[in-house]
C-alpha cells in the first residue's frame, strides 16, 4: 500500500509491528497462579501465592495485561514478590472469592476472612526490562 507521497515505509512498519506482536505472543510462557489471604481478628494470619508452569497449553484469549519491571529476571515468583502490591491490586479486578465468618462466645467476638483467587492460567512474556502478564479467558 502506497501513501500519497509514494513512500511505502508506513505499511512495512505496520506489518513488522503485527509480525513482532504475533511472534511475541507465540513464545510467551504459561503459568498457573493461585492466591490465598487469611485475616483472623483483623490481623494477617496467612498469605500464599502459588506459581507453577503449565504442563499443557492453556486455551483462551488474553485480556487485561499487566506490565511489571523484572530487571532481567526470568523467575516469575520473584518478579511477583518484588511487585506484590501492584500484582495483588491487579488480582482484585478478577474478583476474589470471599468467605467471612464471625462468632461470639462469652461476649468475645472472633472473625475470620479468607480471600481466594482460584487457580487461573496466565500468559507471561519476559523481556529484558519487564514482564507482561495476562490472564486467559
- Start-to-end C-alpha separation, the chain: 35
CA distance 121 to 28: 12
* pTM as predicted: 0.69
Residue 9, in any domain of the structure:
no
Residue 22, in any domain of the structure:
no
Closest CA to 132 of 82, 62, 81, 85: 62
Give pLDDT tens digits along the chain (137 positions): 454 555 556 665 655 556 545 544 456 789 999 999 899 998 888 989 899 999 888 888 888 899 998 877 788 888 888 888 898 888 888 778 899 999 999 989 999 999 998 889 999 988 888 889 999 88
Domain count across the chain: 1
CA distance 103 to 110: 5
Residue 60, in any domain of the structure:
yes
Closest CA to 31 of 72, 87, 86, 71: 87
Residue 92, in any domain of the structure:
yes
Residue 12, in any domain of the structure:
no
- The residue segments making up the domain with residue 42 are 29-135
Residue 67 is placed in which grid cell? 506490565
Residue 67, in any domain of the structure:
yes
Amino acid at each position: 500500500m502506497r501513501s500519497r507521497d509514494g513512500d511505502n515505509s508506513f505499511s512495512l512498519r505496520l506489518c513488522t509491528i503485527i509480525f513482532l506482536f504475533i511472534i511475541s505472543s507465540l513464545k510467551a510462557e504459561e503459568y498457573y497462579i493461585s492466591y490465598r489471604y487469611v485475616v483472623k481478628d483483623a490481623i494477617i494470619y496467612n498469605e500464599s501465592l502459588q506459581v507453577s508452569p503449565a504442563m499443557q497449553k492453556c486455551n483462551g484469549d488474553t485480556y487485561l495485561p499487566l506490565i511489571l519491571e523484572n530487571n532481567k529476571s526470568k523467575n516469575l515468583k520473584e518478579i511477583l514478590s518484588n511487585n506484590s502490591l501492584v500484582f495483588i491490586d491487579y488480582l482484585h479486578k478478577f474478583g476474589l472469592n470471599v468467605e467471612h465468618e464471625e462468632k461470639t462466645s462469652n461476649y468475645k467476638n472472633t472473625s475470620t476472612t479468607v480471600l481466594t483467587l482460584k487457580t487461573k492460567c496466565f500468559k507471561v512474556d519476559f523481556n529484558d526490562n519487564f514482564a507482561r502478564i495476562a490472564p486467559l479467558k
